Chain A
Amino acid sequence: MSRLLDVRDLVIEFDTRHGRKRVVDGVSFHLERGEVLGILGESGSGKTMSTLAVLGLVGGRPGVVQGQVLFDEGAGPQDLLADLGRVVKPRGDRLVKNDRRWQRLVHRTMRPLWGRAMTAVFQNPRHSLDPLMTIGAQVEESVRLAQPELDRAGRAGRAVEWLARVQMNDPKRVHSSYAHELSGGMCQRAMIAVALARAPMLLIADEPTTGLDTTVRAEIVALFRELLADRRRSMLYISHDIREVLFLADRIIVMRHGKVVETVAVADLKAGVGERHPYTASLLAAADLAFEAAA
């Protein structure tokens, strides 16, 4: 089986008041099936932008200007950005993007994958849920898309099952609750239920524990680990917390200033195999983690 996702030489730029800024500068990474890849880096390192690019959800201009996103649903890898050459054209010394063509590219190649093949869980769980819908209704929206044949009662039943699977204490009560009635941690569990109810192959979790209490963070991370234990799904787990990443991921990439500075298997890192990039070493030191090679 080939790789699920292969991002190659991705470049993302934004026009700012101080001219054009390159926020992602030739980033490459890949994800095997069933694998969890941790993306580690501080704010502004380009980790969120790199993963939003996979979904085609980079807002702002010009955004994605170069690169390949090879995604394999099972019928061989497809480059989601294959038509980027027709969207972005050099003019003078800079790249100019045709917004309409970009929208069409996203609509044609990425949109059909949203929710079904790849989906995302963002930070700020409370704001990621519709304030006017019950949690149950939101999970049911996903259930409806996944299993259109189910009737109303069937959907509700599935939704409650999903709420139980994300370890809600009282799934029935949560089903009829609104986001503002739940804690941040419960909102994030609900988000995960909405995302996973369609059984996507790829889950992108963008700092899903930011803003949650320490104990709740540990619970959410443990939930991710359990939900992914059967290796039927893959995940890009973005965080600035090296402990979370080491706990969840099989491999990690470390990003800084829009570049990947290091790619390493977590097992190797823990075993102290090889030399660490100085930045990775500083992150480990800051978290008070020291992994020595067995003598």
Chain B
Amino acid sequence: MGGRAERIAFWGSGAIVALVIAIGLVSPLIGYDPAAAVDYEQKLLGPGAGHWLGTDAQGRDVAMRLMKGTEAFFLPGLMAAGIATMAGALLGAIAGYAEGWGRTLVVGFLQLVDTLPRLIFIILVCTILNPSITLIAGVAGVLFIPSIATVIRRKVEALGSEDYILAHVAHGFSTTRILLYHILWLQARPLLIRQATYVFGYVLFVETALSYLGDYGVQEPTPSWGNMVAQTRELGGASAWPWVFPAVAIAVTIAAFLAFGNLLARRDEEAIR
């Protein structure tokens, strides 16, 4: 493990990630009616006793909406990370190990997907199909398959010529076990952790971007961090309180996920070397 600074960064980002995950898990259990929350008597309050993070232009509690806003990206982010890492690892292993038409097919698919510009493609899909955050997350997951598959493929190819993999083969260990356990789980785990947290952060970014842009994201009155920030357009410079906390939350969460993924992967790498 690196120095003190890295330790602080690891535990600090880890705490934020844990907090976001905890909120993401607990939030659906809490009932929230956006319509009932409207209270024009209380609008645009600064942080205070009744409303810790203040209220927005409709007098709704920002802290509550911030918490409920995690639902817009939490499960979709997990889904996208799951799709991307699982399919990416599997296809990468096939591309690195298989020969013949199977490999050609997989490599062709990966190259095709890899040429698509991510954000533009997601917007395109939204204009054609009925946009939902699940769809967006699914598409984002698929779009990240090639980058993960490429990393895994290189790993499989590099390890394929290692003496100990040859020894495993000579000892009769099955190909599936060598690929899934010895290579993907033992060797490529740090890579997968890094990629999974990256994809999760990306989904939060996409959700925010789309909700901010308006048409394809989460629609008011359902809260999302993106559409909370979007209020800045209606408010002009009248009050910063309604959007400053969601904006900070977005930046901090994305940064924390990327940092934590990276540092966790680093720890994993060092633990095994």
Please give the residue numbers on chain A whose beta carbons come within 8 Å of chain B beta carbons, in ascending order.
55, 57, 99-100, 103, 113-116, 119-120, 122, 124, 127-133, 141-142, 145, 191, 194-195, 198, 204
Contacts and interface: CB of A to CB of B under 8 A. Distances in A.
A124 B163 contact: yes
Given A122-B163, A127-B162, A114 B186 contact: no
B170 interface: yes
B172, B173, B272, most chain A CB atoms within 10 A: B172
B100 interface: yes
Given A100-B99, A127-B163, A127-B164, A132 B170 contact: no
B33 to A, nearest CB: 52
B1 interface: no
B155 interface: no
A103 B99 contact: yes
A130 B177 CA distance: 13
B164 to A, nearest CB: 5
B61 to A, nearest CB: 49
Given A128-B163, A131-B272, A198 B172 contact: yes
Contacts of B273: 131
Please give me the 4 A-B residue pairs with the lowest Cβ-Cβ distance, nearest first: A115-B172, A114-B172, A127-B163, A132-B186
B106 to A, nearest CB: 16
30 contacts: A57-B166, A57-B169, A100-B100, A103-B99, A113-B172, A114-B171, A115-B171, A116-B172, A119-B172, A120-B167, A120-B170, A120-B171, A122-B163, A122-B166, A124-B163, A127-B163, A127-B164, A128-B163, A128-B164, A128-B166, A128-B167, A130-B168, A130-B186, A132-B187, A141-B171, A141-B173, A145-B172, A191-B167, A194-B171, A198-B172
B166 to A, nearest CB: 7
Contacts of B163: 122, 124, 127-128
A55 B166 CA distance: 11
A130 to B, nearest CB: 5
A132 B270 CA distance: 11
Contacts of B267: none
Contacts of B169: 57, 114
B182 interface: yes
Contacts of B186: 130, 132-133
Given A122-B167, A129-B167, 11 more contacts: A55-B170, A114-B172, A119-B170, A122-B163, A122-B166, A127-B162, A127-B164, A128-B166, A141-B171, A142-B171, A194-B171
